[in-house]
Structure 1
Amino acid sequence: MSDDSTTSDDEPRTGQQTPETTRRNTPGKGRRPDARAIEPSAPEEFGLVQAWWGGGKGKTTAALGMGFRAAGHGYRVHLLQFMKGGADSVEDVRGEYNAIAAVPGISYENLGHYGWAGMRDGSDEDDHAAQADAGFKRARELVDAAGEAELTEPLALDGDPEDGVHLLILDELLYAVSMGLLDEADVLDLIRSKPDALELVLTGSHDRPAYLDDVADLVTQVKKEKHPFEAGQRARKGTEF
C-alpha cells in the first residue's frame, strides 16, 4: 500500500509542501541573491501595460524602482517624463538623474515645463500644452522604434533609445491626460500600437484612468492616508527630488 503523504515520484501531495519542495519551487531555488555584473540580456516575459495612479506619493518612485530592477538584469530601459518641471522649492537637479547616469542600460528624457498646468504658479499654460504634445510625439517615436527592434534579444546597454528598449516608462503622462493636455483616444492608440514584447509603464493622475480598463494589465492606485505636505513640509532633497 502506498503512503498517502506522497505521490508516486516521492513528491508531497498538494497542500503538504515540505521546506525542500518549497525551495525548489521558488525562483532562485532558495539561494541567497548576490550582486552580479550587468551584462546585456533580454526579458523572457515582458509585454504588459502598467498604470500607476492616485493621490498618494510613490507613483514615479515605483516606476523608477522597476526601471532600475530591469536595468540590473541587463534589460534596456528608458524614462520619458512629462510635466516634471518642479517648483521653486526644488533644485535644478534630481537624484534619479544622477543615479540613472551611473547605471548602464537606463536613460531618461525630461520634456516637462516649469511648474504645473492649472496651478496658477506663473508658468505659461500654452507652454505646458506644447511640451505635453512634444512629449507625446516623442513617446510615439520610441514606441515605433521599439517595434522595429528585436526585443527578444539583448540590446546594447549604451545604445540610443531609438534603437529600441525593453521597458518604456512614460512618467506623468496620465496627469497630462487628466489635465486636458493630451487626449485619451491618442493614448489608447499608442498602447494598442506597441510591439508585443515592449513593457509599457504609465504614471500620474489623481483621477482614475478608467479609459485604460480594457488595455492595462496592471492598474495600481497609490492612496494617500497622510502626507507631510499637509503640515507645511516642502519637497525634500533625496525623497521628492
Structure 2
Amino acid sequence: MANLEKGLIQIYTGNNKGKTTAALGLALRAVGHGYHVFILQFMKGRQDYGELQGLKRLEPECRIEQYGSPGWVLKGQAKETDRREAREGLERAREIIMSGEWDIVILDEIINALWFELIPEEKVMELLAQKPEHVEVIMTGRNASPQLIEEAHLVTEMVEIKHPYELGIQARKGIEY
C-alpha cells in the first residue's frame, strides 16, 4: 500500500457549492496514484447522491459511508437520532484514521455537523491531534470555526459570486447531487 510521507489537514468551507465536489475530485486523483481513500459523509442519508454509485466503481481503493438521516436538520432543533448518527460517524472516522489502512480520509460535511451541534468540536480536535503522520484528512462544510482553520494546513473558501438558484434553477441530478 502506498502511504503519504506527510498527511496534512485540509478544509473546504464557505457558502457556495463545490466543497464536496472538490473533496471528491481529490479522491479521484489520489486513487489514480494508488492511494486508498475513505469518505465518511455526515448529515447525508439520501441514497440518490450520484457519488454513492460513482464511487462504487473505485472500490476497493475508495469507500464511502453515510452517517445521517435523509431529511434536513434545523439549527437548535436536532433530534437525538441526528446526534447519534453524527457520533457514530465520528467514532467510525476515528477507527478508519487510526487503522493505518487508509491514506486519505474525507469527512464530508463534518463542519456542518459541528455547526449544528451534533458533535462537540473538542472531539474532532482530539482526533486531528492523534491522526497518524501519513494520513491526510479533508473536512468539508460551511462555517468552519477559527479553531479548525488554525489547525488546518490548507483552507479553501467557496465564495458565491453567482448561483443558478438566483434564476430559480433548482438542484440538478448529476450536477448538484
TM over 0.5: yes
Residue 75 of structure 1 aligns with which residue?
35
Displacement of 1:44 after TM fit?
4.4
Residue 130 of structure 1 aligns with which residue?
84
Displacement of 1:103 after TM fit?
1.9
* Largest Rg, 1 or 2: 1
Q: CA 1:46–1:98 in 2, change beyond 3 Å: closer, same or farther?
A: farther
Residue 56 of structure 1 aligns with which residue?
16
For 2:103, the aligned partner's letter is H
Residue 63 of structure 2 aligns with which residue?
107
Structure 1 regions of 5+ residues with no counterpart?
A: 1-40, 87-91, 147-163
Higher strand content, 1 or 2: 2
Q: CA 1:124–1:216 in 2, change beyond 3 Å: closer, same or farther?
A: closer
> 1: CA distance between counterparts of 2:75 and 2:135?
34
Note if contact 2:2-2:34 (Cα within 8 Å) is conserved in structure 1: yes
Deviations 1:81-106 (A, max 9, x none): 001135xxxxx322212221112411
CA RMSD of aligned residues (A): 1.9
**Runs of 4 or more off by more than 6 Å in structure 1?**
none
Higher helix content, 1 or 2: 2
Structure 2 regions of 5+ residues with no counterpart?
A: none
> 1: CA distance between counterparts of 2:75 and 2:115?
14
Note if contact 2:44-2:69 (Cα within 8 Å) is conserved in structure 1: yes
1:198 to 112, 121, 135: 135
Q: Which has the higher contact order (CA 8 A, sep 6+)?
A: 2
Q: Percent identity?
A: 39
Residue 212 of structure 1 aligns with which residue?
148
Aligned residues: 176
TM-score for both structures, normalised by structure 2: 0.91
Note if contact 2:75-2:116 (Cα within 8 Å) is conserved in structure 1: no
Residue 188 of structure 1 aligns with which residue?
125
Displacement of 1:230 after TM fit?
3.4
